[in-house]
């Protein structure tokens, strides 16, 4: 069986600096691994939570792998208790469809009458602000078109976005919420 060795190297391009860990496997009967030339270009715009490098070496990682769990919380305008039990499941399904249409993964959704919690696995293809704006705009239009509320429905302008390193920890937050 081969053994794995790793070294850390630092490359800098302009104002960007990255520490890149090379991991390569020695062949069992090979005394020295072959010299591998690697050139990494850092993108001019880096999204938080991603490690995307473009390499000239053909065996390097070709895809982007991320694990970004975000909780969104936003409220009904004026904190009015307008979300009713009769149609909240349909609202959850509709918001799940919006999240999936934007290529993210819905993990959990829950609400009380005056605000909603959305927990999702987010891909680094869209900004948080853009996704929240999309969800709020489309869901409020859907609620208005289906005439679920007698009063005019709208979400508040702001929102909360929180990152979690574990899906299990978030499950307790939703269950404990009144």
Q: Is this prediction's pTM over 0.75?
A: no
CATH number for the domain whose boundaries are 69-176: 3.30.70.1290
Q: Classify residue 152 as exposed, middle or buried by CB count within 10 Å of its CB (0-12, 13-18, 19+).
A: exposed
Domain ranges for the chain: 4-55, 69-176
**Average pLDDT per 10 consecutive residues for the chain, totaling 178 residues:** 43 42 46 47 42 47 84 96 96 97 94 94 95 98 95 95 78 56
Which residue in 45, 43, 44, 2 sits closest to 25, CA to CA?
A: 2
């Amino acid at each position: 069986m081969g053994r794995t060795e790793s070294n850390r190297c630092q490359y800098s391009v302009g104002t960007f600096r990255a520490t890149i860990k090379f991991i390569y496997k020695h062949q069992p009967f090979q005394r020295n691994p072959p010299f591998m030339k690697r050139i990494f270009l850092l993108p001019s715009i880096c999204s938080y939570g991603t490690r995307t490098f473009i390499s000239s070496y053909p065996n390097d990682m070709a895809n982007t792998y991320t694990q970004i769990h975000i909780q969104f919380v936003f409220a009904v305008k004026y904190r009015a208790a307008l979300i009713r039990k009769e149609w909240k499941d349909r609202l959850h399904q509709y918001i799940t469809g919006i999240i999936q249409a934007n290529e993210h993964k819905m993990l959990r959704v829950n609400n009380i009458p005056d605000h909603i919690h959305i927990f999702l696995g987010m891909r680094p293809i869209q900004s948080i602000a853009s996704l929240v704006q999309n969800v709020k705009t489309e869901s409020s239009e859907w609620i208005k078109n289906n005439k679920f509320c007698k009063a005019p429905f709208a979400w508040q302008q702001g929102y909360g976005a929180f990152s979690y390193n574990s899906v299990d920890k978030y499950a307790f937050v939703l269950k404990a919420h009144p």
